[in-house]
């Protein structure tokens, strides 16, 4: 079975060069730090493109397939350009993501708009941009979308998101398929929603169902169950309402390798579960073959990204652990504190040196919980060494903040020995650029001296 990018901790092009330095995309990471500073997000373009190709190749046997990159994992205009060149669509979940896609020149018909509480302004933007599909989550949104579409005298093409009642062995915050979820219609509500569309909402055209059961999933059988549940609903709706759905969206969610203990399935294994399950259920229920839509995000981008930090202060607790502090932390990677996410690390400027001590990698922010990695064995680390945390390409910059008034890091992309900035590093001036001092305070002559 062919190994795919999501199954390797380090990026696709990673290697150790003659200087014992980590190299990605033909670029020495130590030199990248000298040029761009730290913290620094580094993305391997070849790895991203290779993963896109793996998805297209793995699912090509089904026939009519569109892979939608779940852009919430990491979205910039440069990433949109890559996805466009690789012939993927986009799963967008906000007005900002729609605007970014549009601004990058993306084909908006290949954008599918998800979200459990789309604002009227976001819906209007989506309709103005002519997004391909709007995935509807609830009865309020059905009514709102139909109203706005009617005012504009257009028909909105939609999918209905359902919660299929499948629970996965993943973190509670990234489960989405269980019945008690903020996302989607539960199955008991589905027929009522379909009937409203058929009888009341003349400006909505229902193309199919959407389900996403969660993220960082290592299991395969849950997807067989998911296909079976959706296909059964297609058959019921066809029999009862005479509606033949033309699309089926199975979401994304397959896991990635963050640590050596992780054992995610490959993209090809994912396809070898999905395609036979679809074929079997299409035949079983006598359905027309629907277009298959998938929404991978993390599995496309995560393992092609690393974060580089400089080591700073250190502390040896008496009869306790040793802390190594880096010049970033929960502001640029909140996942360990939010999800208890696990990572590994290496010292980029001495990759093959002997691992001599067990340390805890701590962030610089004023929170005791600002810990990136607990108890990892690494070479002896001195201030100024470059700590690399791999598999940080997804949900790191996307969830980054300016906590403690820290400017957000730069992001660069590397390819065949070249490095390019795709997100500029924020400055202190950027931090205050949206601050406003009211006129009454600006004119105040008060002084406490």
Instruction: Let me know if 22 is exposed, middle or buried by CB neighbors in 10 A (0-12, 13-18, 19+).
Output: buried
Q: How many CB atoms lie within 10 A of CB 438?
A: 8
Residue pair 309/327 in contact by the 8 Å Cβ criterion: yes
20: left (phi over 0), alpha (psi -120 to 50) or beta: left
> CA dist 200 to 149, 205, 206, 224, 236, Å?
13, 12, 13, 34, 20
Cα distance between residue 286 and residue 303, in whole Å: 40
**Token pair 């999800």 in the structure block, residue:** 339
Q: Sheet containing 22-24: which strands, arranged edge to edge?
A: 15-16, 22-24, 27-28
Both structure tokens of 301 = 């981008």
Residue pair 190/136 in contact by the 8 Å Cβ criterion: no
Cα distance between residue 46 and residue 30, in whole Å: 20
Residue pair 262/256 in contact by the 8 Å Cβ criterion: yes
Residue closest to 364 by CA, chosen among 383, 342, 379: 383
Q: How would DSSP label each residue in 80-91?
A: HHHHHHTT-EEE
Q: Which residues are catalytic?
A: 366
> CA dist 195 to 58, 158, 204, 266, 405, Å?
36, 14, 12, 39, 51
Residue pair 163/152 in contact by the 8 Å Cβ criterion: no
């Amino acid at each position: 079975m062919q190994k795919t990018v999501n199954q390797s901790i380090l990026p696709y092009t990673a290697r150790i060069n003659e200087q014992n330095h980590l190299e990605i995309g033909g670029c020495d990471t130590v030199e990248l730090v000298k040029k761009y500073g730290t913290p620094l997000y580094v993305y391997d373009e070849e790895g991203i493109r290779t993963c896109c190709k793996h998805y297209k190749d793995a699912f090509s046997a089904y026939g009519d397939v569109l892979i939608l990159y779940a852009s919430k994992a990491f979205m910039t205009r440069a990433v949109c350009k890559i996805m466009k060149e690789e012939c993927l669509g986009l799963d967008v979940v906000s007005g900002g993501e729609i605007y970014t896609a549009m601004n990058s020149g993306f084909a908006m018909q290949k954008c599918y708009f998800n979200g459990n509480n789309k604002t009227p302004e976001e819906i209007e933007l989506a309709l103005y941009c002519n997004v391909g599909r709007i995935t509807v989550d609830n009865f309020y949104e059905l009514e709102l979308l139909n109203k706005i579409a009617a005012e504009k005298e257009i028909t909105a093409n939609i999918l209905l998101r359902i919660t299929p009642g499948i629970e996965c062995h993943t973190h509670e915050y990234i489960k989405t398929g269980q019945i008690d979820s903020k996302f989607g219609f539960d199955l008991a509500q589905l027929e009522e929603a379909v009937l409203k569309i058929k009888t009341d909402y003349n400006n909505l055209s229902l193309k199919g169902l959407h389900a996403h059961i969660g993220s960082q999933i290592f299991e395969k059988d849950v997807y067989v169950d998911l296909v079976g549940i959706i296909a059964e609903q297609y058959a019921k709706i066809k029999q009862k309402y005479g509606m033949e759905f033309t699309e089926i969206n199975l979401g994304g969610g397959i896991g990635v390798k963050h640590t050596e203990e992780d054992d995610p399935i490959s993209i090809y294994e994912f396809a070898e579960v999905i395609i036979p399950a679809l074929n079997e259920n299409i035949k079983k229920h006598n359905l027309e073959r629907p277009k298959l839509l998938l929404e991978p995000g993390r599995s496309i981008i995560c393992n092609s990204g690393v974060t580089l930090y400089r080591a700073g202060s250190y502390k040896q607790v008496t009869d306790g652990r040793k802390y190594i502090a880096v010049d970033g932390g929960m502001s640029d990677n909140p996942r360990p504190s939010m999800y208890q996410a696990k990572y590994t690390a290496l010292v980029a400027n001495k990759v093959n040196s002997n691992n001599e001590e067990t340390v805890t990698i701590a962030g610089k922010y004023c929170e005791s919980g600002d810990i990136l990695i607990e108890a990892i064995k690494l070479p002896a680390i001195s201030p100024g060494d470059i700590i690399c945390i791999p598999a940080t390409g997804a949900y790191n910059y996307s969830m980054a903040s300016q906590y403690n008034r820290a400017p957000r890091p730069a992001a660069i992309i590397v390819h065949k020995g070249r490095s390019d900035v795709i997100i500029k590093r924020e400055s202190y001036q950027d931090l205050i650029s949206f601050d406003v001092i009211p006129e009454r305070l600006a004119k105040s002559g008060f002084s406490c001296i």
